[in-house]
Amino acid sequence: MKSSRVLLLVVAAALVCAGPASAKSLLEKSIYFVNPQSGKIDSTKYWKIYIGKYPSITLVRKFPGEDSLPVNADINLTVLSSGYIEGYGYTRKGRVDCMASFMIDTGTGAIKLPVDSIEYLFAGGTMAKPRGMKVCSVNIDVEGNNVQGVREMLLTKYKLVVDADERNLKPLGDANVELFGFSKAAFMAAEKAQKEAPAAPANPAAKPDK
């Protein structure tokens, strides 16, 4: 993995605009989606997708001077172009960070679905086409907590800005998306799958902490 692809978000204003998760770096991974303003296909190489707030998640954490103990927090989750899902929340002892994974049921049990193994997501992120597999529903695991699937998809685009020896990312705004693909062909397949899928009630969206 080339270090030049690791782009630090160093400007405080960028962190504020970037969305609910405090991403330290983003790696390049092209994503295709419908721009809700133009109604046309759009793409970006650096991005984050906020997928919702999940209440009452139990995590095991060790705090200074104490043994490991369970703590409860409402967790905000964000998918990063770096290829993983990160989360954060607050307990009475302060902020906690965590990791999460997409999960699918293969019929013989639930397995993790790495972001890099996804061809496309549709139906508001509740359905996925894993590489080499059939379309299936998606759930989420947050460090052993099985929770409701994607609640919303708020995508933040970034632009690479090169200034002298610095390579930074500038946020270009947010877009609510219903589907996306990691290639143009995958995006077209996602659109087709969306049109053919039966209508489902929308997931209740939860706003990130400010």
Residue with the larger pLDDT of the pair 30 and 22:
30
Whole-model pTM: value is: 0.82
Token output for 94: 């302060």
| Residue 78 confidence (pLDDT) above 80 | yes
Q: Give exposure, 158-174, as e/b (b: 16+ Cβ within 10 Å).
A: beeeeeeeeebbbbeeb
Residues 6+ apart with CB under 8 A from 115: 79, 83, 84, 85, 102
Q: 109: pLDDT confidence band, cut at 50, 70 and 90?
A: confident
121, 179 contact by CB (below 8 A): yes
Q: Where are the domains of the chain?
A: 3-196
Query: For the segment 121-163, what is each residue's pLDDT rounded down to a tens digit?
Result: 999 999 999 999 999 999 999 999 999 899 999 999 999 888 8
